[in-house]
Amino acid sequence: MVASTLGAVLVAAPAAAEVPREFLGKWTSRPGHCEQRNGEVDVLEVTPSGLAVYEVGCDLGRSEPISGGVRFVAQCYKGGGPVSAGAVTLRRLGQGGIEFALLDFSWASDEAQRFSRCRTGRAR
């Protein structure tokens, strides 16, 4: 009985995120400015298990490789709103740049945003 209950719990648990090291750290929508400025600068912070950008936070689940990057199953929220399911993509854009997109969230556009690596807060 314990083994079958444990098996059910393991199947229901989401797979842990595997964010590639190259995406970890702080990114800015306006090079040279690595502090959030509403309407002027967005700062994206990517951790091994999630990410945050102005008023949005995401826990990342299982991933799959895509051209130039990775796509994650994600649980995200905006502001104080409820958590909803969708996807997040991160793609490389040459030296020091990435493209970030929130997909399938009713409160977000699927349009990708471009970010440059911040000089501070780099992944180690």
- Give the per-residue pLDDT at 85: 97
Q: Is residue 42 a part of any domain in this protein?
A: yes
Quick: pLDDT tens for 9-60: 333 334 567 899 999 999 999 998 898 887 778 999 999 999 999 999 999 9
Check residue 80 and give its pLDDT: 85
7 within a domain of the structure (yes/no): no
Nearest to 88 by CA among 102, 108, 75: 102
pLDDT tier at 112, thresholds 50, 70, 90: very high
Residue 42's CATH number? 2.40.128.20
Instruction: Identify whether 65 is part of a domain.
Output: yes
Residue 88 lies in a domain: yes
Instruction: Please tell me the total count of domains within the chain.
Output: 1
Residue 84 lies in a domain: yes
For residue range 69-90, what is the model confidence (pLDDT) as tens digits? 999 999 999 998 999 999 999 9
Question: Which pLDDT score, from 0 to 100, does residue 122 have?
Answer: 42
CA distances to 4, 7, 8, 20, 22 from 48, in Å: 31, 26, 26, 8, 11
Residue type (1 letter), 58: C
Quickly state the pLDDT bin for 109 (edges 50, 70, 90): very high
Residues 95-112: what's their mean pLDDT?
94
Assess if residue 82 is contained within a domain. yes
Q: Which pTM value belongs to this model? A: 0.80
- Is residue 108 one of the residues assigned to a domain? yes
> Residue 6 falls within a domain, yes or no?
no
- 41 is in which domain, residue-wise? 15-122
pLDDT at site 72 = 97
